[in-house]
Structure 1
Amino acid sequence: MGKSRQTSLECKQSFCDSVDRIKARMPRYFFDVVSGSNIVADEEGTDLPSLDTARSEAVSDARYLMSEAILRGEDVSHKVVQIRDDRGDVVLRVPFADTIRRQG
């Protein structure tokens, strides 16, 4: 194997190791969808750099779910995305209705 090919592979592995270290330090957030007493729990979670980023993700998720529901003729604006941290504590609640920009 040529020197440049070996160096390239070492760089790729070094990059992957760096990404793994960064992800290990990133908090994991779980996005549950709550409707009254019914909770659809996120079992996997997502590694994100901050709660603010998690909130942005929750807003996007809620908007997506609402758009899908509208196409089916359903109103799901009463639902909430509940964000939990890796200890299982609820750190933020994002009501679907709050993710809509209202004109007025």
Structure 2
Amino acid sequence: MTRFYLHVFNSSRAFDTEGCELPDLETATLNAVQGARELIAEDILAGRPISQRHRIEITGEDGRLLHEVCFGDVMQLQP
């Protein structure tokens, strides 16, 4: 298992100081996608604007950026 950190960059910044043990980057990415969707839902319910540029950054134990999940990539909008 590897420790991954999921840092949130939306209207505020929340740095993950504990991280979580996960089997691989794919699982960490799935967790970040789910987290982004939950944050988007909270903003919608509160009537706050959503920026497609908001993101969750996944870093490793060494602090190196491994992947980025942008809010705009996890929601589908129809005209």
TM over 0.5: yes
TM-score (ref. length: structure 2) = 0.87
Q: Which has the higher contact order (CA 8 A, sep 6+)?
A: 2
Structure 1: gaps of 5 or more residues: 1-25
CA distance in 2, matches of 1:64, 1:35: 13
CA distance in 2, matches of 1:49, 1:82: 17
Structure 1 residue identity aligned to 2:45: L
SS at match of 1:56: helix
TM-score (ref. length: structure 1) = 0.68
Structure 2 residue identity aligned to 1:43: T
CA distance in 2, matches of 1:102, 1:71: 16
SS at match of 1:63: helix
Give the number of the structure whose alpha-carbon radius of gyration is greater.
1
CA contact (8 A) 1:66 1:75 kept: no
Number of aligned residue pairs: 78
Please say which of residues 38-47 and 55-64 is displaced more in the overlay. Answer: 38-47
Q: Paired residue for 1:93, among 68, 71, 74?
A: 68
Write 1 or 2 for the structure with the bigger share of helix. Answer: 1
Root-mean-square deviation (Å): 1.8
Structure 2: gaps of 5 or more residues: none
